[in-house]
Structure formats: C-alpha cells, structure tokens
Structure 1
C-alpha cells in the first residue's frame, strides 16, 4: 500500500496537479464547474470512490455529468449502494480531498481511512458512466487512473443517463433482485412493466393519443429513448428531436430551459393538439408542455407531475382499500395551488423540505408510498418494503373481489416501472403516459386539474448572505427576525399572498419567491419584499429587478 500511496503522490503532483486555488464544494449535485478545472478532482474522486466502496463493502457508482449546465461545464458525483446520493459526512471528505494541495492528498487519504476505520484489504468495485459531453471521455480517464492506483475492480458503462447509472448500482448491490445491472436490463424491466399496464389489447381511451414529441436537450437521453422504443412494441410513438445530431447540449432546449424561461425549446415543430416533453442533458428531469388553440404555451412542471401521480396512486389505493400512508413531498418553490390540490382535493399528506433532491428523497422514505418532485421536474416514487409486501399479498389473494386484485396488480407493476433510486426522465415519462392512458386524458385535461397562482422569482444582491437564516423547510426566516416580521406584514395585505426568501448556496444573493391572486399583486408584493431584503442586507449594485 505504501507503493500505491507513493504513486498517488507522484500523480497528484505531476499529471493531475491542482491548477487553481479556487475552492470547489461537493453539493447535492456533486462537483460541477468548467470542465477544464476538473481534471485533478476527477483523479482524486477515483481514489475516494475506492475508499467508499471498501467502507461500504459494496459497489459504488460514479457519474460524470453536469446535467442541465452548458456544454463547457462538467461534473462528478458518487452514488451509494442503493442508488442514493452520497452520505453527507462523505460529502465533507470529498470537498476536503478535492481542495487540499497536491502534497497533502496522501495525508487526507490516511485521515479518511483512519476516521472511517476502512479495511484496505477489503475488495472494491466501481461502476462508472458519463454523459455525452466532449470533455467526459478525458475526465473519465483521469478518474479511472485514480481508481487504478488502488488496484480496484471497475466497470465502465460508457455513455448512460444518470438514472441508469443509479439503477445498475442498485441492481448490483441487491444481488440483482431489483433487476439486471445492465443497460439492456433497464430497458427490459421498464418495457415489460409499461406493456403490462397498457394491457394485451392496447387502445386509445377517451382523449388520450399514444403519440409524444420529445425534446431530448441534445443529451444522452436521445439515444437511450431510441433504444427503449424497441421494447415498447409500438404502444407509444415517440418522436425524438434535439437529439444531438445538429444542436448544442442544453442550448435553448431541455427541461431546465423550458422551466426557467417559461418558453418553447428551439428545434421543435409546434402543432396544436400535440403533446411535448423535455428532458435535461443527463435525463433526470422532465417537464411536459403544449400549445392551445390560441397558440398559448402551457407548462406542466414537477408540481403538475406530482399531482397527477398522487391522484393515480390514491385512486388505486382506494380501490384496494389498503391502509398504507401515501405522502407527497414538495419544496417551498412548489406552487400554492399544487399543494392545495394534493392536500384538499386528493386528501394526500403534503410535506415540505429544503431545496435539494437528497432532502426530498429522505423525507419520502418516511411514508409507505412517498412521492417527491421538485418544481424543476426531478422526482420519483418510493415504496417501502412493507408497502410492497402488502400490495403483493393483496394482488395474490384470490378471496378478494377482482377489482381489488386488479388494482393491487397494477400497483405491483408500477413498482417495476418506477426507478425508485432517483428521478428518471425515461421512467417518469412512461409512468405519466401510463396514467394519462388509464384516465383517458389528454395533456390539456391534465393541465386543467388546477390553475397555478401567479408567481415571481427574483434575486437581490446583499453584502453577506450568511445573515439570512431560514427554518428547515426554508419557508420562513429565523434571522433577521425584523425582515420576517416585515414580510408577514406585507403578505397580509394581499389576497392569497405568499412570499419567502432564502440565500443562495454559492453567491451573496438572496432569492425572493412571491405568490398572489393576480399578476399585478405579485409584482407589487415582490417589489416590496425585495426592497426590504435590499435595505436590511445593505445590498450593492443596482436595485433588484425580476430575474425569472
């Protein structure tokens, strides 16, 4: 091992030396920055991934991607054995190892080994995948050289969507009970479940039409959907556009562009009556949209998806008469109308967590069946072991009425259709199409289950973002108290008013979210809150203006 450490030090100081003193933090999305600044981090994360694998005595996944970021960016994140995000205490190790000087790499590795009590004789195994960015191949090579320093076993899957990587890691660590840990195994599992839910005689009930136009963001999901189509037996006609053949990754297209800009992606021929869906660059976010007869754009984001899924699952559970706790986890950025629809119309429990998938995922595990979606379209459904057992027993109980057994059998099949490890554009798309087909709905009927309250999202520059401290769910300020008191006073003046502020995780910026009954009231309330934030935060630069 001393020889390996010597080799590590040599490579860290020469081939993979740190070129910048800029600190980079491991966040919810892992490391993410300009690809040119990541080479030394990739090498060091190869080392850390091996340590994590030895510590967990399991296969660890690593994904090289920058998701919805511009093509010149890239990133890396580690995936734990059940396909979940890296544990928080190891996020700290990742940040520390990435930012020390080249000569300190060996010292930090030893520190991690000692603090985590890692048996270095333990076997290790790494699953690696990457998106289709030009920089991903070179960065993958740097990562694997780090892995090779500890002579670890690894499997390079090449180009995959992020959710596929999470999927194969979970399959491998459950002795393949979750599925086959291969790309073909992923397509087979989802395809079989989708066709089973469609029925042996596929039809087009009600307003539903089995045709979909996909904006693939010129990302890795384009090719994967084309491969998936071979497993769907023409039950769903998916036209894949923005497939990377002549466009730039995430440039004026993709789920993040459509959601944040509230506008149509380039590269799509628009037609009234068609149903459109957008993925992001690594296919873990999804949003739907359509054009009405007046050529007006309508977005169905993570909130609308959460509501649709909650309705379908609640209906099935009611039919089965199963005593299982169904919950829907959202964030403060979810529209107030969505929360009201889920809690009051559907009677489903709603929980709110801080922004960040890891927070939503963790909270969702507290339910028998937990649905979580961020407004940006990242989300999934999690079934507890207890829920799966109850559903399976109900489906197989021949003494029950046929309608109860059929509903339970659908729930069993949904467990296979849903990627429970992480938000998955492909899996979520098939789930949504299954629900729309079952209900006989077109996208417009889905859109009309509720109307979004008018809202705005602004940002205000401040001198020190650290003075703005929120409650756990980020909906109220703990400090400065006088600012929260002022916001409460302002909100009380407006019908259905709601406003909260939270500091950026990276910049001296405070984001201000505002809702009200009318757009004029939103503008008035938003500006008033922004002024209070500016004054208390002793802001610099121009007065705040609406940015999104």
Structure 2
C-alpha cells in the first residue's frame, strides 16, 4: 500500500482554502448551499471520489455538480456509487468531516486517518466521471473538483453539461460494460437511444397521443429534452417551454416541478399557453423530478404528483405481470413516505403491498430493492421503478403460452429499458407515464379520477435546533420533545380525516409540518395549529410567531 501524495495535495489545497466560519454537511442531496462558498468543498470531494474508487477496486465513481430545484445562486455536489446509486450512507459522515477540516494541515491529518480507518489500498487505480448543470457557478466549481482529482492522480472523464439522471446512467453503464448486466452504451447518445427505442416499441400500434407541453424549468433538462425529441421523432408531439438556460436568474424561477408542487398552480409562463384538457408536466432544475398537471373544462388546475404517478404506473405493471402469467413468481410492491397522500396509500394498499419509510431517496430506493419490482415516487415527483435481477430473468426466460402473454412479456422487457433504474429521471418517467396513458386511453381527467387527493398543507417552522426533534415509525411520530406528539394527536382528533406529522428538515434549521383533512380549510387550520405547537415547543420569540399560527 502506497502513501497519500501529501505534497501534491498540499500544493493544490492552498488554492482552495476553507471559509473559516462556514460548516458544511453532506445530506441526502450531497452538499448544497450558495455556489460561491463551495470552492473548498469541491476540491475535497474530488479527493473523496478518487478514494471511493480506490476503495472499490477502481470502479468508476460519479460526481454531479448541481443544486436541483434550488434557486440559481445555490449549487451543490453529490457522489454516485458504481451501480448509479447514491453514495453509501456510511461515507456521508466522512464527506462532512473532510469538508470541515479547517486548514490544509488538518485536511491531511483527516485524510490519513480516513484512509487508515476505511482500509483503502492507495495502490489501486481511481476513476471518476463528472457532470454539471447549467448554473453560472458550475464551471468554476468543476475546476476545483478537477484539482481534487488530480491531487490523487485519478483518471477522470468530463461528461459536460447534462442532467443528473444521465450522469447516474453513465456511471452504471461504464461499470457494467461487457458484463451480463450491461446497462447500455456509456454515452449521452446511448441513453437517448435506449429510452427512445423502448418508447417507440411500447407506443407502437396505439393511437397517436395529443401534444404534451413540457416545462423545462429553464434548466439542464431543456437541452437534453431537445435532443430526446429528435430521437423520438414523430412518435409523440412535444412542445418545450421554459428553455432559457442562458437567461440570468431564470433557473427554477416561478417554474419547474418544485414550484408547481409547492404552489399548486401553473407556472405563470404557461397560463396563456396551456389549453383545457391538454396534458403538461414540469421538470426540476436537474431533471430528476416530474410533476404532471392539466386544466379541466372550467380551466381549473389539477396536479398529478408523485403519488398519482405511483398509482398509475404500479397498477399498470401489476396488470402486465398478471397478463404475462408471472403473478405467482413476480411480486410488485410500492414504497412511500409519510408525505404520501392518505388517499393514494388507501388506493394502492387495496391492490398491492405498500411500505412506508423515512423521507429521503436512499430510504425509498433501498426498500424498493426488497421487491421483485419496486415502485417508488416521492410526492414531489422524484422516483423510479426497480426490476430485480430475479424479475428480469423471469421475464427473459418465461415461455408464453398465449399471444397475450407474449405481448405482455415484450411490454415488460421494453419497460425495463425505458425506465432509468439508477435514480429518479424526469424524462424517462415522462415517457413511462405517456406509455401508460396511451395503453389505457386515459386523459389527465381519467388518470386523476383513480382516487381523490385529501386536501393537505405543508408548513415550515424555523427553529434554533432541529436536532431537538426526533422521530420514529418512518417519521410519522415524534419521540422528542417529550409530550408534543400527545398534543398533536389531540389536535388531529378534532378534524374529519385528520392526519399530521412533524419532522426536522435534513438540510436546514427548520421543522416541517404536514397535515391532511377532508376539507381544505381544515387541513390548513390543522397544519398551522400543529405548527403553532412546534413553535411554542421550540421556544420561539412570540414577536416572530407567524401570523397564520395565531
């Protein structure tokens, strides 16, 4: 085992000194904060990515520079493990520790201890592929990342400006190349070809869909969507909006999946464009979230979020598995979080197994791997479908006894290719939704009528210390502060169909309060009353108590 190249690290590290008063934390979304403060973090992430690759015998690690749905001044970075999955949880703490080493000397000490602790063989090769979104701070941060990679002599590949899901796809494709689990050609062209070919096969013979309007959030999804449209040809008519990636301040500004989900209304730029009955969807800034919506014949807005996508997709896959004659061998399951609408949970539970896990993609993804086919979409529109190797083998080897079984097996095979199983992918998921709508001859209205959402409200309460709030039962119940859950239960009992839970944010010093009730005004009232309890418990300044709580 060789030693760390201290001199090389030191000479490059002095170009990327850590801001003295800032503390960084690697969370579910990696590091994420103002882009101008992340120089030192990107340098150290470059070192960490190289070490992660060495730890895994030279497998290629991904690094994505993005802040997803956040406003344009923010940026961030996250690591991607060899199968395109999120960084192993145990390394999140290591990332945080290295990012917060105050000086170059402290960083070198921390790196030596880290290498020893995790038993990394430094003689192993290291390989990294990275990409970024369209944020103005991206190019400079990539330079810092490259310095970190070069400090350890890592081989690296710049995948350029592309979506987060494409980067995840590339990582898996690179690492499975030449194996029986080969995921596809390790290029953007390979990704676009895989998706578009599968879509065309699945849509073949179906009535031509009506035009779909896609809000690209003025983000990196726009140029990739333009390319995807070229690959799709005339198989589906698409109109792209909010594609201004070079307009300063436009990214995620009053548009995109997060705007639609949180404000529950059309992006202003679509108000005069979207016609009643027309389908539309919004991507977020790095194209890993998807929210659908439509206007009814009275021009009323209807949102079709991650819960609605789960209901549509899961029931379609269950029907296909049954039609293929594999319902005894392949079990389909759904994974949700406490944020899933109660009506969606009821609808799904009557049809297939449903598991609730703590908030965060890593929890959902891990739980979905326990099913033969695991479907998960967070309410915010981030999700995918995982087909286990067992399920894929069953689909590949099953001998159909009827033409209907043969057709269903072909559909399942093409679905496996259409779905980006590495991570939530707005463009892949959009094509998946369009396939199901075409097969079922659904408009937005029929899709929406699968079940009716319970009215709900999400409220954010600023607190001094979010760590004072701890949860259990997949974050549905508070453990501390003691006694607060009892008060919440008492409030909830006063509302018809009432449900509420409180959980600390994973990224900022706030506590999130979610509430549901049969009537919208009661859901709002319950949310603000629970938020008031949280505010009081947190010892908030009465003069700062938000007016809605009073």
Q: Classify 1:462/1:220 alpha carbon distance in 2 versus 1 (closer, same or farther; 3 Å).
A: closer
Counterpart residue number, 2:92: 91
- Between the aligned partners of 1:301 and 1:511, the Cα distance in structure 2 is 19
Q: Classify 1:527/1:280 alpha carbon distance in 2 versus 1 (closer, same or farther; 3 Å).
A: closer
1:284 pairs with 2:288: yes
Gaps in structure 1 of 5+ consecutive residues: none
Counterpart residue number, 1:159: 161
Deviates most, 72-81 or 474-483 = 474-483
Helix, strand or coil for the counterpart of 2:233?
coil
Asked if structure 2 preserves the Cα contact closer than 8 Å seen for 1:458 and 1:544, the reply is no
> 1:86-134 CA deviation, whole Å, 9 max, x = no partner?
0111111111111102221111111121111111111111111111111
Equivalenced residue count is 536
Counterpart residue number, 1:122: 124
1:424 pairs with 2:425: yes
**CA offset at residue 351 of structure 1?**
0.9
**CA offset at residue 472 of structure 1?**
4.3
- Between the aligned partners of 1:497 and 1:170, the Cα distance in structure 2 is 43
Deviates most, 373-382 or 255-264 = 255-264
**CA offset at residue 512 of structure 1?**
1.5
- Between the aligned partners of 1:29 and 1:114, the Cα distance in structure 2 is 27
Helix, strand or coil for the counterpart of 2:339?
coil
- Between the aligned partners of 1:478 and 1:363, the Cα distance in structure 2 is 23
1:100 pairs with 2:106: no
Q: Classify 1:190/1:463 alpha carbon distance in 2 versus 1 (closer, same or farther; 3 Å).
A: closer
- How does 1:303-314 map onto structure 2 within 5 Å? 303-314=307-318
Counterpart residue number, 1:258: 260
- Between the aligned partners of 2:300 and 2:206, the Cα distance in structure 1 is 32
Asked if structure 2 preserves the Cα contact closer than 8 Å seen for 1:459 and 1:544, the reply is no
Helix, strand or coil for the counterpart of 2:386?
strand
**CA offset at residue 404 of structure 1?**
1.6
- Between the aligned partners of 2:142 and 2:462, the Cα distance in structure 1 is 37
Shift >6 Å, 4+ stretches: none
**CA offset at residue 387 of structure 1?**
0.8
**CA offset at residue 320 of structure 1?**
2.3
- Between the aligned partners of 1:467 and 1:289, the Cα distance in structure 2 is 38
> 1:355-378 CA deviation, whole Å, 9 max, x = no partner?
111111011101110001111100
- Between the aligned partners of 2:47 and 2:390, the Cα distance in structure 1 is 37
Helix, strand or coil for the counterpart of 2:217?
coil
**CA offset at residue 180 of structure 1?**
0.7
**CA offset at residue 465 of structure 1?**
2.9
Q: CA RMSD of the aligned region, Å? A: 1.7
- Between the aligned partners of 1:246 and 1:368, the Cα distance in structure 2 is 43
Taking structure 2 as the reference length, the TM-score comes to 0.94
- Between the aligned partners of 2:230 and 2:324, the Cα distance in structure 1 is 33
Counterpart residue number, 2:331: 325
- Between the aligned partners of 2:509 and 2:216, the Cα distance in structure 1 is 33
- Between the aligned partners of 1:420 and 1:334, the Cα distance in structure 2 is 21
Counterpart residue number, 1:138: 140
- How does 1:267-278 map onto structure 2 within 5 Å? 267-268=269-270, 269-278=273-282
Asked if structure 2 preserves the Cα contact closer than 8 Å seen for 1:457 and 1:546, the reply is no
Match of 2:183 among 170, 178, 181: 178
Q: Classify 1:170/1:193 alpha carbon distance in 2 versus 1 (closer, same or farther; 3 Å).
A: same
Gaps in structure 2 of 5+ consecutive residues: none
- Between the aligned partners of 1:460 and 1:222, the Cα distance in structure 2 is 34
Helix, strand or coil for the counterpart of 1:193?
helix
- How does 1:3-402 map onto structure 2 within 5 Å? 4-13=5-14, 15-57=15-57, 58-102=59-103, 103-176=105-178, 177-199=182-204, 201-204=205-208, 209-244=209-244, 247=247, 248-268=250-270, 269-322=273-326, 323=328, 324-344=330-350, 347-394=351-398, 397-398=399-400, 400-402=401-403
